[in-house]
Amino acid sequence: ATGPLPTARAPGTGPRTPFSSASFFDASKAFATSHRDRISLEAFESLLRWLKEDGSEIAIFDACNVTKQRRAKLGELVCALNDEAAGRESPVSIVFIESICYDEQMVLQLMEGKVQNSPDFVSLPKAAAMADLHERIRHYEKVYQTVAHDEGPYIKILDLSSKASVSNVYGRMASSVLPFLLALHTMDRPVLLYMLPSGDEAGSSPQYREALVRWARSYARSSELTILTSTEPSALAAAQGLADASGGPQPQQRAMLGPLLV
């Protein structure tokens, strides 16, 4: 689909989407659970028809398949589709993708983006929307079951691509889809460029190194820095001081960078 990106809404404006309150995601409520299951399965069956009829190759079913029972049902539908098309079409394979985030600050930022852009919270002020989303997450946590090895192929992305755990993923999934997933990110990842003054004497002077050290110590995400530097002595000296101050990994040298620190 193409079109303009969604813009952040003004808090507390417009009607709220039906069945969007946190109570609708309470697994102890039979009506809400059956309603959500029905909607999910209808959407998944539509996805399978799209794969079968349109000659498409890859589809992503973005849903909270947090229980083993729900995932097993999806697997049954895929098997039924393959049995129906046996000998006539290539079989459809299913791979579960699980995103696990332990970084509380990262979770908070993702939640803020959710309440700003999702129609689920369009009529709520930010504080009320965040409280509602917290409650929804607690409902998910009560029934959440991580994907297990016996459920088939899976990819687990930890802390938004900082680490991945992969099981029984081969071929195109491993060579194309997995790198694509690892390249996705929803958090800001700034690229900072620093051009050293011309001449080794100026670039290696304590004045510039100390300025970089002060900046690194005050930068909130200094431990996340990946430092790329040219092979010039002045750049190497400045990069090493920056790495020592930030507590991050050692600088990586790149001859094509000229006198840049990145």
Whether 56 and 100 map to the same domain: the answer is yes
User: Residue 7 — pLDDT band, cuts 50, 70, 90?
Assistant: very low
Whether 238 and 109 map to the same domain: the answer is no
Look up the pTM and report it. Answer: 0.68
Q: Spell out the residues 6+ positions from residue 31 whose beta carbon is closer than 8 angstroms to its own.
A: none
DSSP state of 145: -
Residues spanned by the domain of 47:
22-183
- Is residue 148 included in any domain, yes or no? yes
Whether 124 and 176 map to the same domain: the answer is yes
Per-residue pLDDT of 74-128, as tens digits, reads 999 999 999 988 777 788 889 999 999 888 888 998 899 899 888 888 888 999 9
Q: Are 125 and 11 in contact (CB under 8 A)?
A: yes
Of residues 189 and 199, the one with the higher pLDDT is 189
Per-residue pLDDT of 25-62, as tens digits, reads 999 999 888 999 999 999 999 999 898 887 778 889 98
Integer CA distances (angstroms), 45 to 40, 49, 50, 59, in order: 9, 6, 9, 12
- Is residue 16 included in any domain, yes or no? no
How far apart, in whole angstroms, are the C-alpha atoms of residue 94 and residue 139? 26
Whether 177 and 201 map to the same domain: the answer is no
Whether 117 and 210 map to the same domain: the answer is no
Per-residue tokens: 193? 């460029």
Q: Is 194 helix (H, G, I), strand (E, B) or coil?
A: strand
- Structural domains in the chain (count): 2
How far apart, in whole angstroms, are the C-alpha atoms of residue 26 and residue 187? 29
Virtual CA dihedral for 203, 204, 207, 209, nearest 10 degrees? 100
- Is residue 100 included in any domain, yes or no? yes
Whether 198 and 119 map to the same domain: the answer is no
By CB atoms closer than 10 A (0-12, 13-18, 19+), residue 104 is exposed
Whether 213 and 242 map to the same domain: the answer is yes
